[in-house]
Amino acid sequence: MSLIVQKFGGTSVADLERIQNVAGRIAATRGNWDRVIVVVSAMAGETDRYINLAHELSPDPAGRELDILLASGERITSSLLAISLSSRGVPAISLTGGQAGIRTEGTHTRARVRTIQPKRIHQELDGGKVVIAAGFQGVDQFNEEQTLGRGGSDLTAVALAAALEADLCEIYTDVDGVYTADPRIEPSARRLERISYDEMMELASLGAKVLQPRSVDLAAKYRLQLVVRSSFTEGEGTLITPDTGGIEAPAVNGVSCDKKQSKLTAVGVADRPGIAASLFGTLAEKSIIVDMIVQNVSDHGLTDISITVNRDTAEEAERVMCETHAGGDAGKITRDDAVAKVSVVGIGMKSQAGVASRTFAALARERINIMMISTSEISISVIVQEAQAEDAVRALHREFIA
């Protein structure tokens, strides 16, 4: 029996008209597939609105309460979509993450999927219904609500597709595929027909919002057929595949930008064994993901350690770093929220020299200062001032792609 998972993001379900449009698409899908599972996000802007409401009441709302609040956004859309489908004569049922069997673990607001118990989904599919799962959520071993981190509905879709061995997982969004750069920043960016899991993983984790990084990781692990398409237009979209089929890959296949970065520096840290271990140990205990790390050359037994983290966790990271160094190992902790990370990504750079020098020269021509640099086998990333990030994307796209 053929099985498809379709996920519709926030802009695709932003209002009732769009929900009806999505219902129309699902009705058509049902003609071609035996079993259809749909995953939905909250209506565009709702998750941000809830977070802001909570922060108006408290500077540090409890994670548990935030999760109950945030999970409700996707539930609203899932039930509205089920109502819309039923009114067209398409039998459908909405399920919360917990009802859909999604079991989670880890920290509130950024939990991981531990396992999926698909019994209920199977029952509903056997009964001929379209199953609409609320994205971005699950329940932990104590039946507490947990959400999966921003953009987590992509992960719900891929996790369900993997667990139920779907033949295809389609991610419907407001662009018609994965582009060589965010088309909202670089209008001449072009859609990629295919992109390898590795490059997509790198682009996503370096800020290309179009897919949540953990969803790409999971899709790669299960060799899932994953497609990104527009919910507003027809078209092939972009296929994420094990390899792109090209004989010689270009050095750079995409440019990404992450504006939600913060830079923290422990200034005047004692330069002796164990200091970095204690600093990063406490950040890890709080599940704060550290991205770039730069340690300066020691001067008079003191050094500076700079890190970057996602801006959502910057306040917590600052607090943890201040607490760790309360014993006097660091002069002070400084925090800069006006930074962004811009990256070039391409499998081809593994075998081509000069990509770093071209990257830095292209930025220098635009008088863009580089604050930090990091590299992987298939990417080069720089931290720049947030105000210059879009110019940096355009400069690098011009240099390597356009």
Chain residues in the site for Mg ion (CB under 5 A): 9, 151
d(CA 29, CA 167): 13
Q: Does 38 bind ligand ADP (CB under 6 A)?
A: no
Q: 253 vs 303, which CB is nearer to ligand ADP?
A: 253
Residue 108 φ/ψ, nearest 5 degrees: -55, 145
Per rule CB under 6 A, is residue 13 in the interface with ligand ADP? no
Residue nearest to ligand ADP (CB): 9
Q: How many CB atoms lie within 10 A of CB 329?
A: 17
Confirm or reject binding of residue 136 to ligand ADP (CB under 6 A): no
Sequence-ordered list of residues with C-beta below 8 angstroms from that of 58, at least 6 positions apart, any chain: none
Minimum distance, C-beta of residue 14 to ligand ADP, in the bound complex (Å): 9
Residues near ligand ASP (CB under 6 A) are: 9-10, 41-42, 47, 73, 135-136, 150-154
Partner from ligand ASP, Mg ion, ligand ADP, none contacting 144, C-beta within 5 to 8 A by type = none
210 contacts ligand ADP (rule: CB under 6 A): yes
Compare residues 12 and 205 and give the one whose CB is closer to ligand ADP. 12
Q: How far is the CB of 69 from ligand ASP (least distance, A)?
A: 12
**By rule CB under 6 A, what string of x and - marks binding of each residue 249-288 to ligand ADP?**
-----x----------------------------------
> Minimum distance between the CB of residue 228 and ligand ASP, rounded to whole angstroms?
13
Question: For 38-73, b where at least 16 C-beta lie within 10 A, e where not — what string?
Answer: bbbbbbbebbeebbeebeeeeeebeeeebbebbbbb
Return the range that interacts with ligand ADP (CB under 6 A); candidates 55-63, 161-169, 206-214, 331-339: 206-214
Which of 173, 303 has the CB closer to ligand ADP?
173
Q: Name 115's bridge partners.
A: 103
Q: Is 193 in the site for ligand ADP (CB under 6 A)?
A: no
Q: Does 118 bind ligand ADP (CB under 6 A)?
A: no
User: What tokens appear for 205 in the block?
Assistant: 């984790």
Q: Is 250 exposed, middle or buried (0-12, 13-18, 19+ CB in 10 A)?
A: middle
CB of 183 vs ligand ADP, minimal distance in Å: 6
Q: Which is nearer to ligand ASP, 40 or 125 (CB)?
A: 40
Which of Mg ion, ligand ADP, ligand ASP, none does residue 178 bind (CB under 5 to 8 Å by kind)?
ligand ADP
Residue selected from 175, 307, 355, 378 as contacting ligand ADP according to rule CB under 6 A = 175
Least Å distance, CB 185 to Mg ion, is 16
Calpha distance 48→42 (Å, rounded): 10
Q: Which is nearer to ligand ASP, 104 or 306 (CB)?
A: 104
Is 184 an interacting residue with respect to ligand ADP (CB under 6 A)?
yes
- The single residue among 167, 174, 217, 336 that binds ligand ADP, judged by CB under 6 A, is 174
Tell me which of ligand ADP, Mg ion, ligand ASP, none is bound by residue 174, counting a contact when its beta carbon lies within the kind-specific cut-off of 5 to 8 angstroms: ligand ADP
- Examine residue 178 and tell whether it contacts ligand ADP (CB under 6 A): yes
Which residue in 247, 251, 225 sits closest to 238, CA to CA?
A: 225
Shortest spacing between CB 135 and ligand ASP, in angstroms: 6
Question: With respect to ligand ADP, which residue has the nearer C-beta, 208 or 218?
Answer: 208
Task: Indicate if the alpha-carbon torsion angle 198, 289, 141, 151 is positive or negative.
Answer: negative
